C-alpha cells in the first residue's frame, strides 16, 4: 500500500477542482454537474457543496448518473443498478461529468452514451480526482484532474471517503 493523497491533500484537491470548474464556468450559467454512480458521487457531492457555498444553491444544477446498463464489460452478469437522478434537461448545456478515478476510459464512454438519453449537451467536460494516465483503452482525457499517477495494470487505486469509510484518503494497492 502506497499513500497517494492524505486527508489534508484530498481536501485541498477537492477545493481546487471546485475552483477550477467555477473559473471555467463563471456563475455556472448554462452548466450542470453530474456525478457518476456509485463512486463519483462522493466527489461530486463535495464539489457541489463547495460551489453552493460560493454561489446561491439554486445556481448549482446537480444530478447523478448510473451507467450500469450502458457498460460494455459487464453484460453477462446480473447487476443491481444505482439510482439516476437527473430531473432536468441537458439539452445545449455545458455538462461537467465527475468521477473518482479515470482508468481505462470505459466508464466515461458509457456515461457519454447514457447522457444522450437526457438531451444533447453543448459541451461535456470531465473532472476526476485521480487520473491513471497510462492505462487508457479509449481516447478519453480529463479536463480537471486532482492528481495524475502512473500505475501498473495490476495495481488498484482505492479512494476512501469519510462518509462511507470513516476516513479520507487515496491509496495505491498492489495485488
CATH code of the domain containing 30: 3.40.50.2020
pLDDT band per the 50, 70, 90 thresholds, residue 73:
low
Strand ranges inside the chain, DSSP E: 2-5, 31-36, 61-65, 94-102, 123-132, 144-149, 156-160, 169-173
Q: Percent of the chain scored above 70 by pLDDT?
A: 93
Total structural domains within the chain: 1
> 18: domain range?
2-173
Q: pLDDT per residue over 7-46, tens digit each?
A: 999 999 999 999 999 999 999 999 999 999 988 999 999 9
Instruction: Report the predicted TM-score, pTM, of the whole model to 2 decimal places.
Output: 0.93
Could you tell me the pLDDT band of residue 77, with boundaries at 50, 70 and 90? low
130: left (phi over 0), alpha (psi -120 to 50) or beta: beta
The arithmetic mean of pLDDT across residues 50-56, rounded, is: 95
Amino acid at each position: 500500500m502506497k499513500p497517494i493523497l492524505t486527508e489534508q491533500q484530498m481536501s485541498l484537491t477537492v477545493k481546487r477542482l471546485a475552483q477550477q470548474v467555477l473559473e471555467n464556468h463563471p456563475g455556472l450559467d448554462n452548466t450542470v454537474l453530474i456525478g457518476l454512480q456509485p463512486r463519483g458521487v462522493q466527489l461530486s457531492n463535495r464539489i457541489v457543496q463547495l460551489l453552493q457555498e460560493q454561489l446561491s444553491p439554486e445556481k448549482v444544477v446537480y444530478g447523478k448518473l448510473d451507467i450500469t446498463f450502458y457498460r460494455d464489460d459487464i453484460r453477462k452478469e446480473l447487476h443491481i443498478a444505482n439510482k439516476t437522478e437527473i430531473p432536468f434537461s441537458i439539452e445545449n448545456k455545458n455538462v461537467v461529468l465527475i468521477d473518482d478515478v479515470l482508468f481505462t476510459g470505459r466508464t466515461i464512454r458509457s456515461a457519454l452514451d447514457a447522457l444522450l438519453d437526457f438531451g444533447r449537451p453543448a459541451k461535456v467536460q470531465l473532472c476526476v480526482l485521480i487520473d491513471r494516465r497510462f492505462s487508457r483503452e479509449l481516447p478519453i482525457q480529463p479536463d480537471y484532474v486532482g492528481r495524475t499517477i502512473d500505475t501498473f495494470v495490476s495495481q488498484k487505486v482505492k479512494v476512501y471517503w469519510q462518509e462511507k469509510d470513516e476516513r479520507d484518503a487515496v491509496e495505491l494497492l498492489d495485488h
